[in-house]
Chain A
Amino acid sequence: MIEVEDLLFTYESDGFTLRVPDLAVEDGAKVAFIGPSGSGKTTLFHLLAGILVPHSGRISVAGREVSGLPDAERRRFRIGTIGMIFQDFELLDHLTVRENILLPYYVNRALTLDGGVHERVEELARALGIGSYLRRRPAALSHGERQRAAICRALVTEPALVLADEPTGNLDPRNTDVILDLVFRLVEKRGTTFLMVTHDHSLLDRFDRTIDFMDFLPEAER
């Protein structure tokens, strides 16, 4: 369960302010976030993930009060609870696909890399159709294949919540459908909550709910 109450966050650099009076998402739900660019969708994702800290208000994810946690605790919480997928994949060129998927284990001591994890990598990669590409480098993959690798990396830690920031923004419609099918199958199987930012309104029917960020903007800006 995700709960947000009276959230207020302001970027000091440009003065943009995000206000979310009230937001609740049930466990296992698939929710689409829409809204114009600059309306705060990515900012809310970063707040939910504990990358940013709100100036006021309350954020609770999977029963933990994220906003009140100290830095190190918030980072540990993010590692154990949240998987993130980015629009431009953010894979590291110098690592193989397998190493990119295992990256959260390489850089976090809190996670233990054992045989079970390796099996999970194989299983996820097979399910996402990149099972035979694990030894390749990202540069040798197509856009769609790279995004599948990024999805693998987000899911390998078996997070309770996946935050996907326009993961299909760089994909063609056919690849978008294939990727969403695969992600939905995996999150439904594990009961993972899935929040996704998208500008593609044709995809909204496939989600349980849609949250329009226009609702969070002041009347004058809508």
Chain B
Amino acid sequence: MRHTLRLSLRYLLHYRLRTAILVVCIGLIFFLPIAVSLLVDHFRREMGARAARIPLIAGAKGSRYDLVLNALYFRGRVPDPLPRSAYEAIRDGGLGFPVPVYVRHTVKGFPVVGTTLDYFSELGLTVREGTLPLRLGDAVAGAKAAEALGLSAGGRVITDVEKLYDISSTYPLRLRITGILAESHSPDDGAIFVDVKTSWIIDGIGHGHVSPKEAKETSNILQKKEGEVVFNDALVKYVEITPENLASFHFHGDPHTFPLTAVLVWPRDAKSKTILKGRYAVSKTAQMLEPEKVIAELMGFVFRIKRFFDANFVLVIIATALFLALIVLLSLRIRKREMETLMKIGCSRFTVFGLQAAELTIVLAAGLLLAGVLSGATFWYVVQSHMLL
């Protein structure tokens, strides 16, 4: 056995280019299905775990996938708004504990989640540095978002401009980072959290005023006389809530109608859960969903596609096996003389077969090892970079 392996390795190393091509071919053939399988399993686990932590989600009528994906993973299309009164009704009804969520804005592509402090306690999120957002304009960044944006407590970030060429749209808001969350290996790592009222200010529902007489910014002031301040019309780049202007911030309209994208609900018990679902079942404007079921349904589609992929992989394996058989047959023809020499000096047919089998096994093993390494590296990269969630 030792000598068979030695001879096989010698042959493969001598014809290293040929061997390398074979190993790379096999490696690439197996890489994709292994990587996809690893990632889909991980994706399913991660999505399932997140969905399992939140028993119910209330939202406006519409696509249940959009609602769940936006509320749990801060991804996908923003669902239609749900009035704040829906949150208040659940809170006052006593059947469950609601947490409002408003996910519409971004900071350099990272979602800004407007919520309350209950969100952090219900999902077990803690700060690694600084404090949770306690004031209008405060924000706390998820670990990955902070790393990507280079944020630390005390830093500032500006929300993304929604409509660059619409001068009537609201200004971006400059947020004060009060803390960084500890890594939770969930979508929360890639988000920036603010109080839901701060989100409404970004929306333009609430705003503050600065008296020209108290303005500290001098670059925009053209003339300052007694009882009169003349400003130039330079574009204001962003709004910032400071201790000086905080008191001037206020909201217009009926607070009960202020928008939310979802309400996360932790029912008091199984009966409460059933009652809540029943109430929303007849609603024409709102829906109450069990995220776990919606995600399971969604994953059902993914796995149906994966089954097609798996069937395709079986065909690829058959094609690979045929391709390898062809290579072995051609190799036997090319190496006929070598085999004859071996047999003339006393080598048995079994040993000749063993040599061929050992070479094939080594090439297959090296190809699978390469596929494993590539899949592992891809898996690590995708998970680390939060490409899936």
Contacts and interface: CB of A to CB of B under 8 A. Distances in A.
Interface of A: 49, 51, 72, 75-76, 78-79, 84, 86, 90, 92-95, 99, 103-108, 110, 113, 153
Contacts, number: 51
B342 A84 contact: no
A104 B15 contact: no
A51 B344 contact: yes
6 contacts: A75-B346, A79-B346, A90-B344, A92-B338, A95-B7, A107-B345
Contacts of A108: 345-347, 351
A90 B346 contact: no
Interface string B10-47: 11011100000000000000000000000000000000
Nearest to B12: A94
Interface string B313-346: 0000000000000000000000001100111111
Contact of B346 (A93, A104, A113): A104
Q: How large is the interface on B (under 10, 10 to 19, 20 to 34, 35 or more residues)?
A: 20 to 34
A95 B10 CA distance: 7
Contacts of A106: 3-4, 6-7
Listed from nearest, the 3 A-B pairs whose CB atoms lie closest are: A94-B14, A79-B346, A107-B347
Q: Which secondary structure characterizes the binding site on chain B?
A: helix
Given A78-B346, A84-B344, A90 B337 contact: yes
A107 B344 contact: no
A95 B4 CA distance: 13
A153 B342 CA distance: 12
B348 A75 contact: yes
Nearest to B3: A106
A94 B15 CA distance: 8
B3 A107 contact: yes
Contacts of B345: 79, 84, 103-104, 107-108, 153
A106 B358 CA distance: 14
Contacts of B344: 49, 51, 84, 86, 90
